[in-house]
Structure 1
Amino acid sequence: MPRRTVTMLASTLILIALLCAGVFIKVPYSEMSPGPTFDTLGEAKGEPVLQISGRKTYPTSGHLNMTTVRVTGADYRMNLVEAVYGWLAHDSVVVPHDTLYPDGKTEEQSTQENAEEFSQSQESAKTAALRELGIPVKTRVVVSTVLKNSPAEGRLHAGDVIKAVDGTPVKDPKDVARLVTRHKPTEKAVFTIIPAQDAAAAEKAGKEPVGSKDVVVTTKKADDDDRAVVGIQAGPDHTFPFSVDIKLVDVGGPSAGLMFSLGIVDKLTPGSLTGGKFVAGTGTIDDAGKVGPIGGIEMKTVGARQAGAQYFLTPEDNCAAAAADIPDGLTLVKVEAIDDARKSLEKIRGGDTAGLPRCTTG
Structure 2
Amino acid sequence: MTDMRDRQHAPQPEPSPFGDEPAAGEPIARRTVTLGVSLLATAALAAVALVVPTPYAMRSPGPTEDTLQRNLIQIDGARTYESTGELRLTTVSVLGGPGYPMLSGQVIQGWLDPQRSVLPVEAIFPEAITKEQQQEASQAEMVSSQESATVAALTHPALGYDVPAVLDVAGTEPGSGAEGKLNDGDVITGFQGAPVGTYSDLIDGLAETSPGDVVTLGVQRGKRTMEVDITTTGNEERAVLGVFIDPQYDFPVDVSIEIENIGGPSAGTMFALGIIDKLTPEDEANGQVIAGTGTMSPEGTVGPIGGIEQKLYGAVRDEAEWFLAPADNCPQVVGNVPDGLNVVRVATLAEAYDAVEQIGRGEGDDLPTCS
- Class of the TM-score when normalised by the shorter of the 2 chains: 0.7 to 0.9
- Contact 1:59-1:271 within 8 A present in 2 as well: no
Pair 1:25-2:52 in alignment: yes
- How many Å apart are 1:343 and its aligned residue? 1.6
1:23-76 per-residue CA deviation (whole Å, 9 max, x = no partner) reads 243221011111111110004xxxx11111111211211100111111134111
TM-score normalised by structure 2 residue count: 0.71
Read off the aligned partner of 2:47 and give its amino acid letter.
C
Match of 1:264 among 244, 250, 275: 275
- How many Å apart are 1:109 and its aligned residue? 1.1
Pair 1:102-2:102 in alignment: no
C-alpha distance in structure 1 between counterparts of 2:85 and 2:245, whole Å: 39
C-alpha distance in structure 2 between counterparts of 1:34 and 1:9, whole Å: 43
Alignment partner, residue 239 of structure 1: 250
Alignment partner, residue 178 of structure 2: none
Pair 1:69-2:92 in alignment: yes
- Contact 1:124-1:285 within 8 A present in 2 as well: yes
C-alpha distance in structure 2 between counterparts of 1:40 and 1:289, whole Å: 18
- Contact 1:35-1:69 within 8 A present in 2 as well: yes
- How many Å apart are 1:89 and its aligned residue? 1.3
Aligned pairs (5 A) from 1:1-362: 2-3=17-18, 6=32, 9=36, 12-13=39-40, 15-43=42-70, 48-71=71-94, 72-132=96-156, 133=158, 134-142=160-168, 192=220, 213=223, 234-360=245-371
SS of residue in 2 equivalent to 1:104: coil
- How many Å apart are 1:90 and its aligned residue? 2.2
SS of residue in 2 equivalent to 1:325: coil
Read off the aligned partner of 1:354 and give its amino acid letter.
D
Read off the aligned partner of 1:30 and give its amino acid letter.
A
C-alpha distance in structure 1 between counterparts of 2:300 and 2:119, whole Å: 31
Q: Which has the higher helix share?
A: 1
Moved more, 308-317 or 350-359: 350-359
- Contact 2:97-2:125 within 8 A present in 1 as well: no
C-alpha distance in structure 1 between counterparts of 2:355 and 2:282, whole Å: 15
- How many Å apart are 1:161 and its aligned residue? 5.8
Could you say if the C-alpha distance between residues 350 and 163 of structure 1 is closer, same or farther in structure 2, counting changes exceeding 3 Å? closer
- How many Å apart are 1:353 and its aligned residue? 2.7
What is the percentage of aligned positions where both structures have the same residue? 40
Could you say if the C-alpha distance between residues 289 and 8 of structure 1 is closer, same or farther in structure 2, counting changes exceeding 3 Å? farther
Read off the aligned partner of 2:137 and give its amino acid letter.
E
C-alpha distance in structure 2 between counterparts of 1:8 and 1:349, whole Å: 67
- Contact 1:142-1:235 within 8 A present in 2 as well: yes
C-alpha distance in structure 2 between counterparts of 1:93 and 1:156, whole Å: 41
Read off the aligned partner of 1:117 and give its amino acid letter.
E
- Contact 2:294-2:304 within 8 A present in 1 as well: yes
TM-score normalised by structure 1 residue count: 0.73
- Contact 2:56-2:97 within 8 A present in 1 as well: no
CA RMSD for the aligned pairs?
A: 3.2
Segments of 4+ moved more than 6 angstroms: none
Gaps of at least 5 residues in structure 2 are 1-15, 20-30, 172-182, 207-218, 226-242
- How many Å apart are 1:163 and its aligned residue? 5.3
Read off the aligned partner of 2:18 and give its amino acid letter.
R
Could you say if the C-alpha distance between residues 8 and 314 of structure 1 is closer, same or farther in structure 2, counting changes exceeding 3 Å? farther
1:278-308 per-residue CA deviation (whole Å, 9 max, x = no partner) reads 0010000111111000001011111111111
Gaps of at least 5 residues in structure 1 are 146-154, 176-190, 194-211, 216-231
- Contact 2:97-2:121 within 8 A present in 1 as well: no
SS of residue in 2 equivalent to 1:33: strand
- Contact 2:327-2:346 within 8 A present in 1 as well: yes
- How many Å apart are 1:105 and its aligned residue? 1.2
Could you say if the C-alpha distance between residues 42 and 36 of structure 1 is closer, same or farther in structure 2, counting changes exceeding 3 Å? same
Alignment partner, residue 211 of structure 2: none
